[in-house]
Amino acid sequence: VQLQASGGGLVHPGGSLKLSCVASGNIFNIAGMGWFRQAPGQEREFVASISNGGRTNYVDSVKGRFAISRDNSKKTVALQTNSLKPEDTAVYYCNAEIMNWAGYQSDYWGQGTLVTVSS
């Protein structure tokens, strides 16, 4: 199983980026999917999650600015980031709880995509 993240880049404060992540490999079912981020010198933190049924959860600092979505048929999760601030600068990682065809469930991480918010 692999998670491939994309969509990061350099953006001015107030700008927007859409991050995407696609899962591939031996996948029977994907439960929760989400995004985390890690700023330089800081620990990785939770950003947003979405359940298989579409229930979403966000860290307070991004509520009203970020929106998470998923397409179960395409095995993708996306994070629309709006009104970006310099403090949103970080490497963003996608995460998914995936069960394979043997019935084994595990947590998987994408490779990270860098978002830099700077004027």
- The model's pLDDT over 66-114, given as tens digits with 9 standing for 90+, comes to 999 999 999 999 999 999 999 999 999 999 999 999 989 999 999 999 9
Return d(Cα 30, Cα 28) in angstroms, integer.
7
- Answer whether 61's CB lies under 8 Å from 68's CB: no
- Residue 53 Ramachandran class (φ > 0 left, ψ -120 to 50 alpha, else beta): alpha
Find, among 19, 20, 34, 10, the residue nearest to 86 by Cα: 10
Give the tens place of pLDDT for each residue, 11-70: 999 999 999 999 999 999 999 999 999 999 999 999 999 999 999 999 999 999 999 999
